[in-house]
Amino acid sequence: MKKRVLVTGGAGFLGSHLCARLLNQECEVLCVDNFFTGMRRNIEPLLGEPAFEVMRHDVTFPLYVEVDEIYNLACPASPIHYQRDPIQTTKTSVLGAINMLGLAKRLRVRILQASTSEVYGDPDVHPQTENYCGMVNMIGPRACYDEGKRCTETLFYDYRRQHRLDVRVARIFNTYGPNMHPQDGRVVSNFIVQALKGDPITIFGSGTQTRSFCYVDDLIDGLTRLMNLPHDVEGPINVGNPAEMSMRELGELIISLTGSHSRLEFRPLPQDDPRQRRPDISRARQLLHWTPKVSLEEGLKKTISYFDALLANSREAEKLVWRFTQ
């Protein structure tokens, strides 16, 4: 009998890739999304699959379904999207977690939370290990996301202690790949879209701040390995690529890979933007036998191809609209 798996946020960037992976693993998949940031085009290739079902639902309200596992990915993850409605972002993290944990408790099933490296804030420990408690500004413009995810982790481990629930928490570091939203404000999608259009590559600050970028296929592999680990898991696990790069280096690499004539343009650094971010993935290597396989250059080429096709389709659609209105 096929395992029935619930994926909240299933039409989002990560969620759509996870749904596809689970279908390939012979699971039945219930994709739940309110389409605030998720896009139907992300899951269109899956709609013809008999084992795939889509439900429009907001996780801040209870959900009554029968499933065997739960992946809780529902929450806007880019600054532009989560700062658009910060109160709703916090509600999605906290109330969504309470509702999904309540469902898992009723069904007595395993649940995985997609947490984030943002729980570390602007870290003074580098690279970041799971036992580092972070340095987060709880009243800043990013706090709706950062503190929402920190509270979610608290809830998950309180349910584990109080109700003996089988919980898994993945702290996801910067991830990129096809199905990213072209206007999500994340650095990889920003740089690629700007380069393909020939616009200036906007770098905030001096460009010396660093990030570590994990290709989406590797990330999804890490999540499914964590969920399928047969024994209990103590504490969160970092999932990301430890290869570190400055924003200036990333901009120059994307210009090179796209063959663009874009130039770098420097702007003021936003409040609370982390200076550095790099995961220590020792626990993921030890417990999950997982390490990223896709190089940054290889992953960027695939992502550039995706955005190139997306922009080409958009330009064609604009031409059709123009012709129709003439």
Phi, psi at residue 43, to the nearest 5°?
Answer: -110, 0
Contacts of 314 (CB under 8 A, 6+ apart): none
| CA-closest candidate to residue 158, choices 145, 167, 146 | 167
CA distance 271 to 169: 27
Catalytic residue check, 145: yes
- On whether the CB atoms of residues 178 and 302 are closer than 8 A, the answer is yes
Q: What share of the chain is helix, strand, coil (3-state, %, to 5)?
A: 45, 20, 40
**Residue 324, Cβ density class (10 Å: 0-12 exposed, 13-18 middle, ≥19 buried):** exposed
Both structure tokens of 110: 């395993």
User: Which of 71, 82, 120, 145 is flagged as catalytic?
Assistant: 145
Both structure tokens of 15: 């969620």
Q: Collect contacts of 250-253 with beta carbons under 8 A, ≥24 apart.
A: 250/187, 250/188, 250/191, 250/211, 250/213, 251/191, 251/201, 251/203, 251/207, 253/296, 253/297, 253/300
> Helices 86-107 and 143-163 meet at what angle, rounded to 10?
20
H or E segment at 109?
A: none
Q: Concatenate the DSSP letters of all residues of 194-257 into one string.
A: HHHHT--EEEETTS--EEE-EEHHHHHHHHHHHHH-SS---S-EEES---EEEHHHHHHHHHHH
> Residue 72's beta-bridge partner residues?
8, 113
Catalytic residues: 145
